[in-house]
C-alpha cells in the first residue's frame, strides 16, 4: 500500500476518466453520469487513504513522488502533501462527488462534456495542491482555468461571455507575474523545486518584488478586496456545479498559495507588508459584509459572503508577524491564526458549497435567483427550508457548525496582534448573521409569496442526500475540529519556525 503512487492516481484517474468520457461520447453507448460518479467516488475513496496513512508527527512532505521531467531546466514531476495541503485535497475529492451528483438531472445539454470538465478540473486542482515543483504547479494552476472557463462559458447564464472573459483575464493577469517570479527564483537557485525556493536566500528588494508578484496572483484567486469583482459575476453566470467548485476549492488555492509560497519564500517582505494584507482582509470582512447585505440576487449575496469569509483566511495568515513582534519573537497565538485560516478554508468549502447548492435547488425549480421572487418557501419545501436555515446559520458562524471554528480561532489570534484587528474581525458576528438571516427571512420564511412558490415541490432523495452529507460535514467539523487541527499541527509549527527566521 505504501508504495502506491497515491497522489498521481488522484490526479490522473479523474483526468483520464474525464478524457474517457469525452471519448465514449462519440460512441454514444452509455450514460455518462454513472461513469462520472464512479470515477469521482473512486478518487474520493482513494483520497481517504491520504488521511489514514498520514503521519501527523512530521512536517515533512508525505506521499512524495519524484521523476525527472524536463532535464534541461531541472524540472521534476515532484508531488507531495503536508498537513496543510492534504485536507484540501480531500475537500476537493469530496466536493467533486457532490458536484457530479448535483448535475445529475439538471444538465441535459452535453452531459458527458459537463462531467468530463469537472473530473478533469478535479485532477488539475489536486495537482495544484500536491505539486512541489514550480513548473508543475504553474501548469496545473493555469490548466485549471480551462475547464472552469468552459463550464461557465458553455453551461452558464445569459451574461456568461462577459463573466468568462473577466474571470479569465483577471486570474491570468495575476498569474503571469507569478510566473516571472518563479523564473527569477529558478535563475537564482538553479532549481524549480518549491522546497528549494523555501531555503533560497533573497534580499529585501527581491523579496518585496516576488511578494508583490505572488500577491497579485493569489489575491485575485482568493479573491481579496479590491480585486474581487470577477467573483460575483462568475458565480452569477456559472451553473450550480461551477459555483460550488469555484467557491469550495478554487478560492482556497489563493489561500494555499500564501501559505506555500509567500510566507516561506519571502518571510521578510511578508512581515514588512503585512499591514497591506491585514488592511485588505479587514476591508473584505466589513466592506464586503455591507455590500452582501444589499444584494438582491442570492448567488451574488453568497459570492460576496464568500469574499468576506475568505478575508478571515488571509487575516489569519498575516497576523502572525504582528504577533511575533508583540511577543518579542515568541509564537504564542500565531499558530492559532494559521490553523484557523486552514480550518476556515475547509469549512467555507462545505458551507458556501452547500449554500450554492441550495440556490441551485431553488433555481432549478423557479429559474430565478432573485430574492424578491421568493418568500415562504418553507411552506412548500419544509425539508429544504430546514437545511437552508442550517447552512445560513453555519454561514453566520454559529458555534457547533464549522463556520464558527475558523472565525473563532482567527479572532482569538488577532487579539494577540492588535485589539482593533479582533474588534473589526468580530463584526462578522453581526454582519454575517445580518446578511445570511435576512436572506433566509425573505426567501424561506413568511407566507407563500406567489403561485410559483405554491407549486414548489420539496427536495428529492438525491438532493436531500447531497445537502444532508454537507450538513453532516458542517456539524462534525463544528463539534469536533480536533482531528483536523491535529493533522496540520506539525506543518503549521514548521512553517512558523521557518517564517520566524529572517532570510536577510
Partner 1 sequence: MENVYLAIALAPLVGAILAGLFGRLIGRSGAHWVTILGVGLSFLLSLLVFKHHVIDGAGAFNGTVYTWMVSDGIRMEVGFLIDRLTILMMMVVSFVSLMVHIYTIGYMHDDPGYQRFFSYIALFTFSMLMLVMSNNFLQLFFGWEAVGLVSYLLIGFWYKRPSAIYANLKAFLVNRVGDFGFLLGIAAVAMYFDTLDYADVFAAAPSMVDATIEIFQGSPWSLMTVVCILLFIGAMGKSAQVPLHVWLPDSMEGPTPISALIHAATMVTAGIFMVARMSPLFELSDTALNVVMVIGAITALFMGFLGVVQNDIKRVIAYSTLSQLGYMTVALGASAYSAAIFHLMTHAFFKALLFLAAGSVIIAMHHEQDIRRMGGLKKYMPVTYWTSLVGSLALIGFPGLAGFFSKDTIIEAVHASSLAASGFAYFAVLSGVFVTALYSFRMFFLVFHTEERFDEHTRSHLHEPPAVVTVPLILLAIPSVVAGYWIDPVVFGDYFGGAIFFSDAHPVMEELTHEFHGAWSFVLHGLTGPAFWFAMAGLFTAWYVYTRQPDLANQARNRFAWLYRVLVDKYGFDRFNEVVFAGGARGVGWLLWKAGDVVLIDGLLVNGSARVVGWTAAVARHLQSGYLYHYAFGMILGLLAFLSWFIWWG
For binding to partner 1 (CB under 8 A), which residues are involved? Answer: 166, 169-170, 226, 229-230, 287, 290-295, 332-336, 339-340, 376, 378-379, 389, 393, 396, 398-400, 404-405, 408-409, 411-416, 419-420, 422-423, 426-427, 429-430, 433-434, 437-438, 441, 444-447, 479-482, 485-486
Q: Minimum distance between the CB of residue 409 and partner 1, rounded to whole angstroms? A: 6
Cβ proximity of 338 and 496 under 8 Å:
yes
In angstroms, give the least distance from the CB of 365 to partner 1: 20
Cross-strand bridge partners of residue 133:
193
Instruction: Output the smallest distance, CB 141 to partner 1, in A.
Output: 22
Residue 417's Cβ-side half-sphere holds a number of Cα atoms within 13 Å equal to: 29
The dihedral sign for the CA sequence 209, 215, 216, 218: positive
Pair 378, 442: CB distance under 8 Å = no
CB of 214 to partner 1, least distance (A): 20
Least CB distance to partner 1 at residue 441 (A): 5
Residue 1 to residue 5: CA distance in whole angstroms: 9
Q: Which is nearer to partner 1, 348 or 416 (CB)?
A: 416
Give the C-alpha distances (Å, rounded to integers) separating 349 from 107, 192, 261, 388, 445.
23, 30, 21, 16, 26
Conformation bin of residue 221: beta by default, left when phi > 0, alpha when psi is -120 to 50:
alpha
Please, what is the minimum distance in Å from the beta carbon of residue 410 to partner 1? Answer: 10
Q: How far is the CB of 121 from partner 1 (least distance, A)?
A: 25
Nearer to partner 1, 73 or 423 (CB): 423
Q: Record the cell numbers describing residue 494, joined without a space.
A: 514548521
Pick the closer one to partner 1 by CB: 212 or 393. Answer: 393
Q: Please say which residue, 275 or 480, places its beta carbon nearer to partner 1.
A: 480
Shortest gap between Cβ of 390 and partner 1 (angstroms)?
Answer: 10
CA distance 214 to 222: 12
Minimum CB distance to partner 1 smaller for 130 or for 295: 295
State how far the Cα of 193 lies from the Cα of 132, in Å rounded to an integer: 6
CA distance 162 to 158: 9
Cβ at position 109, least distance to partner 1 in Å: 30
Calpha distance 238→449 (Å, rounded): 27
**Closest CB to partner 1 among 10 and 291?**
291
- Cα gap 375→442, rounded to integer Å: 5
Q: Closer to partner 1 at the Cβ: 391 or 408? A: 408
Query: What does the DSSP assignment read for 100-147?
Result: HHHTTTT--SSHHHHHHHHHHHHHHHHHHHHB-BHHHHHHHHHHTHHH
Q: Which CB, 24 or 433, lies closer to partner 1?
A: 433
Query: Nearest distance from residue 74's CB to partner 1, in Å?
Result: 36
Closer of 60 and 294 to partner 1 (Cβ) = 294
Contacts of 316 (CB under 8 A, 6+ apart): 337, 338, 340, 341, 344, 406, 409, 410, 413, 414
- Would you say 152 or 334 has its CB closer to partner 1? 334
CA 50-499-88 angle, to 5 degrees, is 25
- CA 342 and chain centroid, separation: 10
- Residue 106 or 449: the one with the smaller Cβ distance to partner 1 is 449
Q: Which of 260, 254, 273, 268 is nearest to 314 (CA)?
A: 254
The nearest distance, CB 437 to partner 1, in angstroms, is 6
Taking the complex as a whole, the smallest distance from the CB of residue 22 to partner 1 amounts, in Å, to 33
Residue 19 neighbours by CB under 8 Å, 6+ apart = 116, 120
> In sequence order, what E strands does 274-425 have?
none
Rounded distance, CA 175 to CA 194, Å?
Answer: 16
Q: Output 87 or 103, the one with its CB closest to partner 1.
A: 87
Amino acid at each position: 500500500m505504501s508504495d502506491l503512487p497515491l497522489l498521481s492516481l488522484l490526479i490522473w484517474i479523474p483526468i483520464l476518466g474525464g478524457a474517457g468520457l469525452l471519448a465514449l461520447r462519440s460512441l454514444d453507448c452509455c450514460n455518462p453520469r454513472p461513469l462520472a460518479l464512479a470515477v469521482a467516488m473512486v478518487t474520493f475513496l482513494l483520497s481517504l487513504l491520504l488521511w489514514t496513512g498520514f503521519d501527523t508527527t512530521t512536517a515533512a512532505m508525505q506521499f512524495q513522488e519524484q521523476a525527472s521531467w524536463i532535464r534541461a531546466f531541472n524540472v521534476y514531476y515532484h508531488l507531495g502533501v503536508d498537513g496543510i495541503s492534504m485536507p484540501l485535497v480531500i475537500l476537493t475529492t469530496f466536493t467533486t462527488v457532490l458536484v457530479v451528483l448535483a448535475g445529475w438531472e439538471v444538465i441535459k445539454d452535453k452531459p458527458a462534456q459537463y462531467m468530463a470538465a469537472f473530473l478533469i478540473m478535479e485532477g488539475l486542482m489536486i495537482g495544484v495542491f500536491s505539486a512541489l515543483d514550480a513548473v508543475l504547479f504553474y501548469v496545473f494552476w493555469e490548466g485549471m482555468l480551462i475547464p472552469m472557463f468552459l463550464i461557465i462559458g458553455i453551461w452558464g447564464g445569459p451574461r456568461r461571455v462577459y463573466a468568462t472573459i473577466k474571470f479569465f483575464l483577471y486570474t491570468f493577469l495575476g498569474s503571469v507575474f507569478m510566473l516571472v517570479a518563479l523564473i527569477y527564483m529558478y535563475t537564482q537557485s538553479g532549481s524549480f523545486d518549491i522546497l528549494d525556493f523555501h531555503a533560497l536566500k533573497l534580499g529585501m528588494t527581491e523579496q518585496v518584488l516576488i511578494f508583490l508578484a505572488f500577491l497579485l496572483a493569489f489575491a485575485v484567486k482568493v479573491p481579496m478586496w479590491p480585486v474581487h469583482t470577477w467573483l460575483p459575476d462568475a458565480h452569477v453566470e456559472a451553473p450550480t456545479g461551477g459555483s460550488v467548485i469555484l467557491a469550495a476549492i478554487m478560492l482556497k488555492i489563493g489561500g494555499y498559495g500564501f501559505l506555500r509560497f509567500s510566507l516561506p519564500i519571502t518571510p521578510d517582505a511578508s512581515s514588512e507588508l503585512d499591514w497591506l494584507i491585514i488592511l485588505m482582509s479587514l476591508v473584505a470582512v466589513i466592506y464586503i459584509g455591507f455590500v452582501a447585505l444589499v444584494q438582491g440576487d442570492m448567488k451574488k449575496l453568497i459570492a460576496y459572503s464568500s469574499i468576506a469569509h475568505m478575508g478571515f483566511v488571509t487575516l489569519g495568515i498575516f497576523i502572525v508577524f504582528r504577533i511575533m513582534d508583540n511577543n518579542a519573537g515568541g509564537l504564542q497565538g500565531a499558530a492559532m491564526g494559521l490553523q484557523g485560516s486552514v480550518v476556515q478554508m475547509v469549512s467555507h468549502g462545505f458551507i458556501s458549497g452547500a449554500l450554492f447548492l441550495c440556490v441551485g435547488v431553488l433555481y432549478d425549480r423557479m429559474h430565478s435567483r432573485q430574492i424578491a421572487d421568493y418568500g415562504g418557501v418553507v411552506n412548500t419545501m419544509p425539508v429544504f427550508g430546514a437545511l437552508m436555515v442550517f447552512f445560513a446559520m453555519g454561514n453566520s458562524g454559529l458555534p457547533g457548525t464549522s463556520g464558527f471554528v475558523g472565525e473563532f480561532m482567527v479572532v482569538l489570534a488577532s487579539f494577540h496582534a492588535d485589539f482593533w484587528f479582533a474588534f473589526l474581525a468580530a463584526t462578522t458576528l453581526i454582519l454575517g448573521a445580518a446578511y445570511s438571516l435576512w436572506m433566509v427571512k425573505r426567501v424561506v420564511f413568511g407566507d407563500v409569496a406567489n403561485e410559483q412558490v405554491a407549486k414548489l415541490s420539496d427536495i428529492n432523495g438525491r438532493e436531500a442526500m447531497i445537502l444532508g452529507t454537507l450538513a453532516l460535514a458542517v456539524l462534525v467539523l463544528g463539534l469536533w475540529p480536533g482531528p483536523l487541527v491535529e493533522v496540520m499541527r506539525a506543518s503549521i509549527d514548521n512553517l512558523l519556525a521557518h517564517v520566524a527566521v529572517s532570510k536577510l
